[in-house]
Amino acid sequence: MKKDDSARAARRRPQARLRALEEGSQPIAEWASLFGDLSRRPPSNPRASAPVEWRIHDKTHLEFAIDYPLVDRTEAYVWEAYFFVPESFRLQEDTYDKKAIYDDLWSYVRWAPPELALSDLSARDAGSSLAEVTTALAAACNKPDGSEEGRWAMRALRLFACEVRAAGVAAVRRIEAALRSGAGEAELFAELGPFAAAIPEIGRALRAVQGEVDVSALRSDVATAMEWVDEDVSLVLETLSATVGVTLEGHAARLPALREIGERLAASAVAEARHRKARGMGSVGAADATVRDVEHLEFRRHVLKRFTSSVLWLNLEVNVGATWALHTFYALAAAVAMAFALTASLHASPSTDNMFRYALLVVVAYAAKDRMKAFLQGTFARWISRRFPDRSWKIEDRERARVVGRVRERAGFLSFRAVPPGALAARRLTRAHELEEAARPERVLWHQKRVQLAPRASGAELGRFPMLTEIFRLDLHRWLDHTDDPNRKIVFADPDDARVYTATARRVYNVNIVYRLTQADGEGPWQRLRVVVSRKGIERIDAITA
């Protein structure tokens, strides 16, 4: 192996960041109990007008998630977004049709997991997540393959893993936000105490439930699902505790007490790794892991996450919105054009003397028929596009045999005159003068969804989901095809020191997005953000507020 290759491989190997505190040290629960009563669970109050979470998935993909709250009655929501795109992108109806729009704007819908605190997930009292897992596993014992009890047990196991991941990520976000804000020890420990205490308790509680089950009485699918969920939850707990531990180590200079907490969290991570190693699971890291070993670890982590999160996925049946209307009007256009051609040909009688004139008339009539048909089809298509959705969706939960909702979707280019006044005002919020619209011309790309949801289901399983979440991924690759080189050399003079300088200027473009989610026929505030892009991809996302 070459020297450069050896150095590159060494950089990719695991790097030690934090050492775990040895066993026998003071338990975390002792200090966590001092601050546990300071911790407050954030209120669960999803609103239709709440801002949407936007993030950069990678250099050319923008991702955003929309939450549709579920209520006890049929409810409808309207999603509207206006993308103000620089004209230099050369996006217009002729170069970027509806098929291209929907190819670049991909989405999927899933249940949002119940919002729980980490400390709730180790409880086994009636109504808790582990109580449902216990009941479902007991019901699945001695049941044949394909039984409803077996499917219920696998759903309960996978949902528990999703709840652990969701609650853990929410807790980590709160801890990181407190660290960024420079919070003091009391505020930090109010978050860290319950977090550090809950991590080992969740693993012990899940394994206690599984230890009470006669595995030989379960069909193989349920037994395998139970093992995989144990492995996935263990990986999640290890990742959560190790992530926070490493983060705390980076802030220990300001608050030395954080170093010991970080080491204790590292001990929790090590305990989970040792559990999986003792069970013979393949998802165990090592200090001397090769690049391929790390690849396998990440692959296994991804497979387990896909398996457990599939319990939340919903199926989308997407159809062209106005197929029947389009074909009906196209047939009408063909009939009108054919009637014209037939009428024209009947008014001329072929004979030897005027055969040339007859043939010329027939040819002209055919050409007029062809153009008339194309003109009518274009006219009807534009009329239909303004009155019918481009696509109609049906959202199904096939695991639970239930239709969750229906969606009508439209997209296309609009003129500035067609943009609602509120959305246009939000776009012009940062403009100093109206001449800026001529200096930085834009095209408006519009996307709308009308979502009608079934009432929130009752029962121990479906009744736990507070909302549906739709995750969009917008591919900007085609948008950036005609952008300029991201770096340019510029020359300027400094009036103070009387010298001429050269510098490298970054060429960036702003894509402004104005959007809102409201209840059907309701009003709500418009939100706005700016996506800064260059030829290399997405640079950053800027929030714009009034």
Per-residue pLDDT of 467-481, as tens digits, reads 888 889 999 999 998
Amino acid code (one letter) for 479: W
C-alpha to C-alpha distances, 249 to 18, 227, 253, 307, nearest whole angstrom = 7, 33, 8, 33
pLDDT at 207 over 90: yes
Confidence of residue 459 (pLDDT cuts 50, 70, 90): low
Task: Please give the Cα distance from 112 to 468 (Å, whole number).
Answer: 5
Domain assignment present for residue 48? The answer is: no
pLDDT for the residue numbered 42: 38
For residue 317, being part of any structural domain is answered with: no
pLDDT of residue 156: 92
Domain membership of residue 184 (yes or no) is: yes
- Lowest-confidence pick of 301-315, 386-400, 528-542: 386-400
Considering the domain architecture, whether residues 254 and 120 belong to the same structural domain is answered as yes
Which stretch of 131-145, 192-206, 361-375 has the lowest confidence by average pLDDT? 361-375
My answer on whether 15 and 156 are in the same domain is: yes
Residue 329's closest CA among 377, 387, 374?
Answer: 377
From 312, 336, 360, give the residue that closes a domain. 312
Q: Give the residue-averaged pLDDT of 29-36.
A: 34
d(CA 285, CA 287): 7
Question: Residue 533 — pLDDT band, cuts 50, 70, 90?
Answer: very high
Per-residue pLDDT for 252 more than 90?
no
- 270, 195: one domain: yes
Arithmetic mean of pLDDT over the chain: 80
**What pLDDT is recorded for position 274?**
94
pLDDT of residue 135: 93
Element holding 440 (H helix, E strand):
none
* CA 226/CA 212 separation, integer angstroms: 12
433 and 365 in one domain? no
- 531 near 513, Cβ under 8 Å? yes
Domain-located, residue 351: yes
Task: Say if 346 falls within a structural domain.
Answer: yes
DSSP H/E element including 496: none
Q: Are residue 25 and residue 76 in the same domain, yes or no?
A: no
pLDDT band at 398 (very low <50, low <70, confident <90, very high): confident
Is 530:541 a contact under the CB 8 Å cutoff? Answer: yes
Give pLDDT, residue 24.
43
What pLDDT does 522 receive? 75
Strands (E), 60-216: 61-69, 75-86, 105-111
What pLDDT sits at residue 543?
A: 83
Over residues 242-265, the mean pLDDT reads 86
- Both 368 and 411 in one domain: the answer is no
**Does residue 171 sit within a domain?**
yes
pLDDT confidence bin for 45, thresholds 50/70/90: very low
H or E stretch at 518: strand 509-519
Residue 393, in any domain of the structure:
no
pLDDT above 90 covers a percentage of the chain that reads 27
- Residue-range definition of the domain harbouring residue 339: 322-387
Give Cβ neighbours of residue 360 (< 8 Å, ≥ 6 apart): none
Average pLDDT over residues 503-526: 86
Place 507 in a pLDDT band, splitting at 50, 70 and 90.
Answer: confident
Q: Are residues 196 and 238 in the same domain?
A: yes
Going 409 to 412 to 415 to 416, the CA torsion angle's sign is positive
Q: Is residue 43 part of a domain?
A: no
Average pLDDT for 109-125? 89
Q: Residues 16, 20, 26, CA angle at the centre, nearest 5°?
A: 165
265 and 328 both lie in a single domain: no
* Same-domain check for residues 186 and 250: yes
User: Is 19 a residue whose pLDDT tops 90?
Assistant: no
Domain end call among 286, 312, 338: 312
**pLDDT tens-digit profile of 481-493?**
888 877 778 898 9
Closest residue by Cα to residue 95 from 375, 442, 481? 481
% of the chain residues with pLDDT over 70: 75
- Average pLDDT value for residue range 420-441: 77
38: confidence class by pLDDT, cuts 50, 70, 90: very low
Q: What is the pLDDT of residues 266-318, one digit of tens each?
A: 999 999 999 999 999 988 888 888 888 889 988 999 999 999 999 999 888 87
- Looking at the structure, tell me whether residues 306 and 334 fall in a common domain: no
pLDDT in tens, 221-236: 899 999 999 999 999 9
Confidence check: pLDDT of 40 > 80: no
Confidence (pLDDT) at 37: 34
Q: Taking Cα atoms as reference points, which of 420, 462, 417, 452 lies closest to residue 437?
A: 417
14 with 159, same domain: the answer is yes
Domain count, the chain: 3
Q: Are residues 133 and 230 in the same domain?
A: yes
Predicted structure pTM score: 0.76
Give the pLDDT band (50/70/90) at residue 26.
very low
Last residue of a domain, one of 312, 338, 373: 312
Provide the pLDDT confidence category of residue 461 given band limits of 50, 70 and 90: low
